[in-house]
Amino acid sequence: MIIMSVDLGKARTGIAVSDSGESFAFPKEVIHEYNSEKLVQKISAAAEIYQAELIVVGLPKNMDGSLGFRAQECSELAEKIKEVSKREVVMWDERCTTVSAHTALNFTDTRGKKRKEVVDAVAAVIILEDYLNFRKNKKQ
């Protein structure tokens, strides 16, 4: 099954997609959109383009595991994505993914404007890799 992950942001939203064997996660794009209605449409269109059967949306929990205002916003957007895309949507803990993405980009010496353009897609890859590992371990 092809799975798509979404790292929701205020201005930039990262998209990553798995292979059909659920072994690898690939960064695909960063959607630049402030309007939540248009963002939902663009995410749904991406799911169609990439033939994703399942969408994993990052849930920004607080470090203590509690849910704050941003987590509520993401949950509401995830519901809209589910309605519009007609696909199953799963919320997935995304704590520290952006920090991990920045660390990964440090290793590749990606800086400046290029870094800003790709960090959200890299965060989406990290969310998806974590979810794919969960699915693999669940099957065993």
Q: Considering the domain delimited by 3-139, tell me its CATH architecture.
A: 2-Layer Sandwich (3.30)
Residue 125 in this model has a pLDDT that exceeds 60: yes
Q: What is the pLDDT of residues 73-117, one digit of tens each?
A: 999 999 999 999 999 999 998 765 655 555 665 555 555 655 456
pLDDT at site 103? 60
Q: What is the pLDDT of residues 41-79, one digit of tens each?
A: 999 999 999 999 999 999 987 667 777 788 899 999 999
- Give the C-alpha separation, 5 to 29, whole Å: 11
pLDDT at site 110? 56
